[in-house]
């Protein structure tokens, strides 16, 4: 044990800063968090990707939250993503019928996340997109971004938000079509290929 002479303040070092750690994830994940689309819905799409830190390493303890409109562009007002048993308080899971448009996914040991949802419809002048919130170690404040889906070049070209993003970085907001209704969207927190993050004021 090291003793510190407190009578000499110049020898006392400041307490190191502490960032958000993996401890915050204790009660946040829930079973089926990525199963946003009702089971068996014919318009289900799959989204998947990785969360990477500034050195390109995958983060095994990040959270990705998704919000999206339904295929008609309507934002759901239905409760039901985390239903609980009123008598025991236990988790009942999603009801499997209602589309809530919301999900929370924890990355696995390889930094991978995946979700099943419905392809969102356009809202206003925006191209169809899903809103994303990222929580990860080292972040004092969570980050917001969007996932735009490919397939409608005219809508993407006229999207008001994408029009404000440098052309060289727009691709970080557009998922890649892997075929058969599966899209890939990697989130890079900083460094080369950093995802464009949004600030709401």
Question: Rounded distance, CA 146 to CA 73, Å?
Answer: 15
Integer CA distances (angstroms), 21 to 25, 32, 137, in order: 9, 24, 5
**pLDDT score, position 2:** 42
Question: Rounded distance, CA 64 to CA 54, Å?
Answer: 17
Among candidate residues 146, 148, 196, the one with its CA nearest the CA of residue 168: 196
**pLDDT score, position 84:** 73
Tell me the three state secondary structure of residue 158: helix
Strand partners, 114: 48
pLDDT over threshold 60, residue 15: no
Segment 69-81 shows an average pLDDT of 85
pLDDT over threshold 60, residue 94: yes
Question: Rounded distance, CA 64 to CA 130, Å?
Answer: 12
Percent of the chain with pLDDT over 70: 85
Among candidate residues 178, 154, 163, 101, the one with its CA nearest the CA of residue 132: 101
Q: Are 69 and 101 in contact (CB under 8 A)?
A: yes
**pLDDT score, position 61:** 86
- Between residues 40 and 50, which one has the greater pLDDT? 50
Dihedral over alpha carbons 100, 82, 21, 52 (to 10 degrees)? -40
Tens of pLDDT, residue by residue over 142-170, are 999 999 999 999 999 999 999 999 999 99
Strands (E), the chain: 44-52, 63-68, 102-106, 112-118, 129-135, 143-148, 176-179, 182-184, 187-188
What's the angle, vertex CA 80, arms to CA 97 and CA 75, rounded to 5?
Answer: 80
The winner for highest mean pLDDT among 2-6, 92-96, 101-105 is 101-105
**pLDDT score, position 1:** 42
């Amino acid at each position: 044990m090291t003793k510190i002479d407190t009578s000499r303040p110049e020898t006392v070092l400041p307490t190191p800063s502490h960032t958000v750690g993996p401890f915050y994830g204790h009660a946040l994940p829930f079973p089926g968090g990525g199963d946003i689309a009702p089971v068996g819905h014919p318009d289900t799409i799959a989204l998947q990707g990785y969360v990477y830190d500034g050195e390109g390493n995958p983060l095994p303890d990040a959270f990705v939250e998704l919000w999206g409109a339904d295929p008609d562009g309507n934002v759901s007002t239905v409760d039901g993503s985390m239903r609980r048993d009123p008598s025991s308080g236990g988790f009942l899971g999603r009801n499997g019928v209602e589309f809530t448009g919301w999900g929370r996914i924890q990355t696995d040991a390889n930094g991978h996340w995946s979700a099943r949802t419905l392809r969102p419809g356009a809202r206003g002048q925006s191209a169809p997109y899903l809103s994303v919130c990222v929580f990860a170690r080292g972040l004092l404040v969570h980050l917001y971004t969007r996932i735009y889906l490919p397939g409608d070049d005219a809508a993407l070209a006229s999207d008001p938000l994408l029009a404000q993003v440098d052309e060289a970085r727009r691709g970080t907001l557009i998922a890649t079509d892997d075929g058969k209704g599966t899209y890939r969207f990697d989130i890079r927190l900083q460094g080369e290929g950093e995802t464009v993050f949004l600030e709401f004021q």
